[in-house]
Structure 1
Amino acid sequence: MTIISELMSAATAQWICANARERLSGRAKYCSMNAWVYLINADKIAGIAPTVSFFCATHAVEEAVAAFVWSAKAHGYKDVANCVNVKDHRHKSVVVEFARMVADDAGRAKMSFTLHQEKDDLFARIDSDEEPKIYHLNLGLISYNPDGEDTAPDRALDAFLSNFPDDRRMVEAINDRAEFRNRAIYAGKHGTRSMSAEALELQLKQHTVISIGLIWAAMDMSRHKDQRAAFVIQALGAVKRISDEAAKKA
């Protein structure tokens, strides 16, 4: 079993896929379905065409970004979601890097989630020095501001920028990721590209986790379409500022 099939066959991932298919509509639905298909494709050819498998995984995560953005536009966040151009690889790279940061921060905060089969829903467990706390998993649980209702993106932006030594390195990292999949499949002046089994597995794992997470977020917005989660506004506001900065210094 490859890392992709292992992650996709998990009960939580299967639940997310089924609910996204049922609840989402229009482009959000079809982008999420296409992301899932490309993860399957990446899994099928990982052993015989590593670089093409990686390309499929990068396409999957970009489609998951599109699903997230289209769902945001359809479920009450159009005013802030319009800042993301789903045809711009740099914009999508910013969303991917931001999603990666959120996943890492959730891990450091000791947040985990699981599917409750009887209640047919996902629940989050947050461990602390006292007793663990259990919540229905939803985007409202996440916030970079002490006041969970505060939508200002400043702290989310600062958290993102803290991952880089300076703005220049941040822009370089975003542009590098935007072009990385092309460099992985096109021959260069020094020869053809190659990818070790270890490097491929790491990339496939990261892209699968982020894709599933973004599909979940897209689906969760549809479940709470009458409630604007502060985190979504924080995140999209930070993404806009990061994208604008990257464009100025590209």
Structure 2
Amino acid sequence: MAILNRFFEAEAANWVVDKIDVLEGRAKFCAYNALRYLKWANETYAVSSLVSNFNGLHATEEAVACFISSGVRFGSNANASKIKLREHKTKALVSIFAQRCLRSIDGHRVKFGVSPNHDNLIFDLPIVEGGWRGEFHLSQLRLMDEGAEACSDWQKLGEGPDLDDIFEEISKASKARNALLYADDDGVPTGFTDPEEALIRDTKLTFGLIWAAVDLHMDPARDSDFLNRFLAQIVDLQKEGKARKKLGSDG
């Protein structure tokens, strides 16, 4: 049995795949390409975990691009018009928040399914006494900046990371990719310490980011508050990066 079959066969994942056609343009193509890389990752794991992990990384990168493209499409023009789609810092910021969300969901053992009318995903939080179940939307996640309302712990994504954290994330992603591709003074690439764990993480991130893009397309107004807070952080990040670059060149 291929390592990712349980994800491809899950009801929630199938719902996400079925809804990709609500996406448009680059977002749709990135989503389909992300799934293609995941399938390649699944097919190659038994032969070469290194090749499989490489495909998993690319799947996540395409899913990040899918979400950013969707955000630019539906965000307020004041912020969306300033977003650079291929900016590495932008992709790193999306990746950081996506990983925070994944850690929280895994830590709280949140489970996902499909609503009876198949219109939405639903979440199930079994660790709450009596259980807690409801529709799941991007609008329920919170960037805990000033003015963000309090909510349950598993939905908090925390404050925006500073530029040093962003550059560290970019460096980590680059090192991970290089470790899967290139030989060095110590020998040929051997891959991740735990390739299965890395691939499963990338799979969850990929499906999660595509879901976020789908949810945004299905009801942009509902998700607008979260989206515009997020885009504003990206714009601030781009400004800070430009200022630091100028300061460095002046020095």
- TM-score class normalised by the smaller sequence: 0.7 to 0.9
Indicate the residue corresponding to 2:196 in structure 1: 201
Distance across 2 between alignment mates of 1:3 and 1:245: 41
Distance across 1 between alignment mates of 2:239 and 2:179: 24
CA deviation profile, 1:126-165 (whole Å, cap 9, x unmatched): 467564333221111111347449xxxxx9563646xxxx
CA deviation profile, 1:169-223 (whole Å, cap 9, x unmatched): 6633432223421232111122110126x61101100100000000000000101
1:213 aligns with 2:214: no
Distance across 2 between alignment mates of 1:134 and 1:211: 23
SS at match of 1:172: helix
Give the count of matched residue pairs. Answer: 237
Q: 1:190 aligns with which of 175, 186, 190?
A: 186
Q: How does 1:1-250 map to 2 (within 5 A)?
A: 1-20=1-20, 22-77=21-76, 79-81=78-80, 84-108=83-107, 111-116=110-115, 118-120=116-118, 121-126=120-125, 131-145=130-144, 147-148=148-149, 158=159, 160=161, 168=164, 171-195=167-191, 199-241=194-236, 248=244
Letter in 2 for 1:5: N
SS at match of 2:194: helix
CA gap of 1:179–1:226, structure 2 versus 1, over 3 A, is same
Letter in 1 for 2:170: I
| Runs of 5+ unmatched residues, structure 2 | 151-155
1:7 CA drift (Å): 1.3
TM-score, normalisation: structure 2:
0.79
CA deviation profile, 1:60-103 (whole Å, cap 9, x unmatched): 11110111011112223454345654434443233112200122
Q: Is residue 139–residue 222 contact of structure 2 (8 Å, CA) maintained in 1?
A: no
Higher RCO, 1 vs 2 (CA within 8 Å, ≥6 residues apart)? 1
Identical aligned residues as a percent: 25
| Runs of 5+ unmatched residues, structure 1 | 150-154, 162-166
Distance across 1 between alignment mates of 2:223 and 2:233: 16
Q: Is residue 28–residue 67 contact of structure 1 (8 Å, CA) maintained in 2?
A: yes
Considering only aligned residues, what root-mean-square deviation do their CA atoms show, in Å?
3.1
